[in-house]
Chains A and B, each alone.
Chain A
Amino acid sequence: RKEVEQDPGPFNVPEGATVAFNCTYSNSASQSFFWYRQDCRKEPKLLMSVYSSGNEDGRFTAQLNRASQYISLLIRDSKLSDSATYLCVTDSSYKLIFGSGTRLLVRP
């Protein structure tokens, strides 16, 4: 079983739509959780950390459910520039474990 699992997508949504991604992790000892964004042929960049109480950054909301071991990312009012691959990330033994990403395509 992969340590971090994500639906690869692609999620194809119109501009203005709300879209949500989930990811599950297998290590119950994981303490830190993140969403990274990776544009095509570019490096990953930190989008936001995920806190137990849930957190919001503009149009982006991240939630953590420790009991079920899943993390979610909600994007409201999607923009064309949101098109990218979203990587779910946890930590394990002092290193980051990346999911393979969920691809989002926002169409005009």
Chain B
Amino acid sequence: DTAVSQTPKYLVTQMGNDKSIKCEQNLGHDTMYWYKQDSKKFLKIMFSYNNKELIINETVPNRFSPKSPDKAHLNLHINSLELGDSAVYFCASSSQEEGLDTQYFGPGTRLTVL
């Protein structure tokens, strides 16, 4: 009955590969997010979707492409992985009712690019 779930939890891959991370929330929220937390622990937003529409797109390389098949899912596809992509990627969700600032995070996907 996990509220926000992500798969995989760990991902180790070689430079140049393409990989995807999946996120699902069962809270009935209408807004979902992807964040990146680097080795210095800064948590920075990458993308935000509201009802399957992209509403925030930070200055992220276009190798990163989010996709929201429905409002309960937000996946992240990364092409041509680079060493600097190594980080923990968190998915989060929020609702208009509770306030978009109250965000519920998934457990994170620890990506290591070799």
B25 at the interface (CB under 8 A from A): no
Residue of A nearest to B106 (CB): A43
For the residues of B in contact with A, the DSSP-based class is strand
- Given A100-B42, A101-B41, A45 and B100 touching (CB < 8 A)? no
B21 at the interface (CB under 8 A from A): no
- Given A94-B55, A95-B48, A100 and B41 touching (CB < 8 A)? yes
Residue of B nearest to A101 (CB): B41
Find out whether the CB atom of A46 lies under 8 angstroms from the CB atom of B42.
no
Q: B1: shortest Cβ distance to chain A, in Å? A: 16
A-B contact count (CB 8 A): 40
Distance A41 CA – B9 CA, assembled complex (angstroms): 11
Q: Which residues of B contact A42 (CB under 8 A)?
A: 107-108
Find out whether the CB atom of B107 lies under 8 angstroms from the CB atom of A94.
no
Residue of B nearest to A89 (CB): B101
- Given A94-B56, A95-B45, A96-B45, A46 and B102 touching (CB < 8 A)? yes
Chain B interface residues (CB < 8 Å from chain A): 40-45, 48, 55-56, 58, 90, 99-103, 105-108
19 contacts between A and B (CB under 8 A): A32-B99, A34-B101, A42-B108, A43-B90, A43-B105, A43-B106, A43-B107, A43-B108, A44-B43, A44-B90, A44-B105, A45-B105, A87-B43, A91-B101, A95-B58, A96-B101, A100-B40, A100-B41, A100-B42
